[in-house]
Structure 1
Amino acid sequence: MTAPEIVARRIGAERQPIAIVDHFHPDPDGLRAAAAHAAFEPGRNHYPGVRAALPDNYFARIRPALTTVLAGVFAHRGAVSLIDASFSMVTLPPERLSRTQRLPHIDALAPDRIALVHYLSPHDSDGTAFFRHRATGFETIDSARSAQYLAALNAEMAARGDAPTGYITSSTPLFERISQVDARYNRCVLYRSALLHSGAIAPDAALSDDPARGRLTVTAFLSIA
């Protein structure tokens, strides 16, 4: 078993921390086998794909690496609460995305929320991209910034027209890509949920709902309050 390898970065003008962990789980092949027998259902909250329950021991197996990352990268040594976690696969074709799904998004306004994406496709390099909103300069959106950001974005959309078709993977007139983490088998990326981000899904990605062929990940949301 290869020990986890942790790399920390600070990205953008706001210098927000992210952590990249290779060899994150001790048995990724076992996770893929579990996903092959899982019952996937349509995702909630604008997720453009399907989700399924994780094995009961998932967090017990990753706890050593997760504890090290939260302490070393996010300076947190207290309790951690799990908000949500699942196997996830992006399956929605680019031409069927809603406006919300074609823009960078955040998962929560609170600064104590951490997002985790664990890549489990051996041949998929579509990772996660992070963005700055050009008009406001915001890279994170919290409760103090939310109203200003939404007002500016809505005004821009009204003036310029709808967002381009497809998943956002690079800079656009409204958003500048400030960083990207490429997917790698059994790699995990952790970041604050308030960071503007998107799955970096290539236009020709194989968006299958078969865990053996599709973009299989684990997505989870944690509270470190």
Structure 2
Amino acid sequence: MFNPSPRIECLPITPRQACWVIDDALLDPQAWIEQAAAEAGAFREAAHNAFPGPERALPTTLSNALATFFDAHLRNRLGARRTVRMHARFSLVARAPHTLAPTQRIPHVDRLALEPGQRAFASVLYLFDDPALGGTAFYRPLRPPAEMIGLLRDSAQLDGDAFTARHGIGAGYPGPSEWFDRVLAVPARYNRLIAYDGTVFHAGQIDSPLRLSADPRQGRLTVNGFFVCRMPAAA
């Protein structure tokens, strides 16, 4: 299902972290789109999720293919030793900006249950042919850690109006602000796969929300993978 001889590019995010980019990742990306379209009625939004739209668990055969590709080509590049577990889903960014919850208005990190010596990694596979629907951006926090912790806590606990009043972040998709500096933006490209450390602040770069759609054949369809990996002892 995946390109057996991928060309892999490294884009630095920080001096110690990078985004790995693979173009032409799938041999038949249209088959994955058709799979998502066939299950469109089963897409659901998850409560208290940073992702702003409906999702559907990836079928086991596709999830296994992604896991195999990650282990073969990306895990070592990300500095990990062994994959402990993973899950993946079809995802569609589809929310209007004014409906976004506070957690969806700011960059986020991937919160997975981890044990000592483990780290979370993520991948995004773009399955749409309209680059204007947006790629993925990475950010660094601009405020002291205590203030950032307060921002993240409030984004999960306050309603939209209270969150805006306290932190000055209105309804809208994430972007650079007095809280976050964008350090890398990876453009979307049909059949492009990216992988990165999930502890880096990131968000979809949604600059044209009017183009969004809940139709898997027309909208910002991605496959989002999440990997818990064991790190080398010295990490």
Displacement of 1:6 in angstroms is 0.8
The number of aligned residues is 211
Q: 1:191 and 1:205, CA in 2 relative to 1: closer, same or farther beyond 3 A?
A: farther
CA deviation vs aligned residue, 1:81-122 (integer Å, no higher than 9, x gap) = 11x311000111001112221111111275611011111001
- The residue identity in structure 2 corresponding to 1:27 is D
8 Å CA contact retained: 1:124, 1:215: no
Change (3 A) 1:80 1:18: farther
Return the match for 1:91 from 85, 91, 94.
94
Rounded to whole Å, the distance in 2 between the matches of 1:161 and 1:224 is 34
Tell me if 1:128 matches 2:127. Answer: no
1:219 is paired with a residue whose SS is strand
Range 198-207 or range 171-180, more displaced: 198-207
Look up the match of 2:177.
172
* Residue matched to 2:82: 78
TM-score, normalisation: structure 1 = 0.82
TM-score of the two chains, using structure 2 as the length reference:
0.79
Distance 2:31 2:73 in 1: 23
Counterpart Cα distance in 2 of 1:49 and 1:159 = 25
Q: Secondary structure at the match of 1:76?
A: coil
CA RMSD across the alignment = 2.6
Query: Contact (CA 8 Å) 1:36, 1:212: kept in 2 or not?
Result: yes
Asked if 2 retains the 8 angstrom alpha-carbon contact of 1:4 and 1:65, the reply is no
Query: 1-side partners of 2:171 and 2:84: how far apart?
Result: 38
Aligned partners of 2:28, 2:12: CA distance in 1, in Å?
29
Higher helix share: 2
Amino acid at match of 2:219: G
Tell me the CA shift for residue 63 of structure 1. 4.8
Contact 2:136 2:205 in 1 (8 A): yes
Aligned equivalents of 1:62, 1:149: Cα separation in 2: 33
Gaps of at least 5 residues in structure 1 are 137-144
- The unaligned stretches of length 5 or more in structure 2 are 155-162, 231-235
Q: Which moved more, 1:51-60 or 1:214-223?
A: 51-60
Deviant stretches of 4+, over 6 Å: 152-155, 157-160
Could you tell me how far apart the structure 1 residues matched to 2:6 and 2:204 are?
A: 23
Identity %: 33
